[in-house]
Amino acid sequence: MFVLKFKAGALQLTTFIIVVIALLLTTFILLIHLHKQFQIQSDFIIDTTNLANSGVDYVIQNNVKINDTIAIDLNEEDYKNLKIYRKFWGVFEQVISTAAIKNRRFQKVAFLGAKQQKSNRAVLYVQDNNTPLVLVGMTKIEGLAYLPKQGVKSGYISGQSYYGSRLIYGGTRVSSKLPKLSSDVVNSISQLEQSYSKLPLNQFFNIQESTTFTNSFLQPLQIVFSNDEINLRNIQIIGHVLLQSKSKIVVHSSSNLKDVILMAPEIELRSNTKGSFQAIASKKIVVGDNVKLNYPSALVVKEKNGSQKETSTSVSRDEVSKVVVEKDAVIKGVIMFIGEDRPNNYQSQILIKESATVYGELYNTQNTELQGAVYGSIFTSNFIANQSGAVYKNHIYNGKINVNELPREYVGLLFNDSKKGIMKWLY
């Protein structure tokens, strides 16, 4: 009879192998468990994010009350919660969507605006004031144009005629009254002007040179307010911030402004300024040479009621309310002038100077003087040309308007019947 004998070292090796296998199996089981937990958490994050996106989509597709939090019915899914809040930030509509699934919460915030039409985009809408549109010089209009019943014709200024082979490079339709902006857009400007009187002191802050400040759109509004002139020099301000002066705001090229709103009777953007923001004035905005404003920016003059009772014969060109865009400036977004009708108005309320370029939309309830280019659309009551000491009513001299150069993805001004889209995701 044989008896097998093993050395003690072999038994230790066997025990070690068993322990290693056990550890590997335990690690594998833990890895599978952690992977499942991670997958569950990832699914929760994705589902919560998608739910927040659906809140933004709901505002795009439905008429939602402004400045009020609305809870969305989720078909008895009690573990889910979705709330939306709609308001305006200057002339841009803003939506905040807050989604929650169990203990997971996620918020998304965006600017909304009007989407471009799939076809027949309007390059020009001139209100019917019983006067034809007259084209002179190197003027060129490309796209669908809405014109007065009297139509369009060529003309002469200082011996120069119209040099185009066609008057309108696109279709034409008969215009009537100027299309109405969404009433919420106009009302939001008036309400914003009084913001400083309704907020607690902890939402105000002071600035000086070298200031850097960022405020999320998910946080309460922060305000810089002064009765005197505000000079923005060597500063960086980003986000949910209103800078308001009762006198004037001057933006220097050393500043860096993004998504903020400037509000004052007069606003001046010095030469070479760069940024992306809204400037809202009650009297005048002057944009200096070589200013570059990225999308989505807005330049808005909204006159106070009764501020221009005088006729143009009693108000000089320097005193009249207006937006002036100087040479070589590039504006990506919207330019607006909203004011009362007044008789005998021979001044320009929006002036785009030679070699200045606008990518987006121009909306003017009064007179537009176009010497530069608008790649997008113009909605105006009248055009005007000041040349050789004379004023030419409803004339365009060397101006260019081309809606085909504006990307179809562009989202801009809200009109009463606009279909909405996402202008920009915020932070």
Number of structural domains the chain divides into: 2
- Whether residue 176 is predicted with pLDDT greater than 60 in this model: the reply is yes
pLDDT of residue 5: 56
Percent over 90 (pLDDT), the chain: 76
Shared domain check, 126 and 107: no
User: Among residues 54, 83, 114, which one ends one of the domains?
Assistant: 114
Domain that holds residue 27: 11-114
3-state secondary structure of 95: strand
Q: Which residues, including other chains, have CB under 8 Å from residue 91's CB and lie 6 or more apart?
A: 185, 188, 189, 278, 280, 298, 300, 334, 336, 413
Helix (H) or strand (E) holding 37: helix 8-61
pLDDT in tens, 178-227: 999 999 999 999 899 888 888 999 999 999 888 899 999 999 999 999 99
Of 295, 297, 379, 373, the residue nearest 337 (C-alpha): 379
Tell me if 100 sits within 8 A of 108, measured CB to CB.
no
414 found inside a domain:
no
- Whether residue 44 is predicted with pLDDT greater than 80 in this model: the reply is no
- Whether residue 251 is predicted with pLDDT greater than 50 in this model: the reply is yes
Shared domain check, 40 and 79: yes
Pick 346 or 17 by higher pLDDT.
346
pTM over 0.85: yes
DSSP codes of every residue in 119-149? S--EEEEE--SS--EEEEBT-EEESEEEE-T
User: Among residues 62, 94, 114, which one ends one of the domains?
Assistant: 114
pLDDT of residue 312: 47
Q: Which two tokens stand for residue 271?
A: 């030469």
pLDDT in tens, 314-329: 556 667 899 999 999 9
360 found inside a domain:
yes
User: Among residues 70, 92, 114, which one ends one of the domains?
Assistant: 114
Lowest average pLDDT, out of 31-40, 85-94, 267-276, goes to 31-40
413 found inside a domain:
no
Q: Work out the number of other CB atoms within 10 angstroms of the CB of residue 42.
A: 10
11's torsion region: left (phi>0), alpha (psi -120 to 50) or beta?
alpha
pLDDT of residue 382: 97
pLDDT of residue 96: 98
pLDDT of residue 70: 94
420 found inside a domain:
no
Rounded mean pLDDT, 99-105: 89
Shared domain check, 176 and 104: no
Percent over 70 (pLDDT), the chain: 93
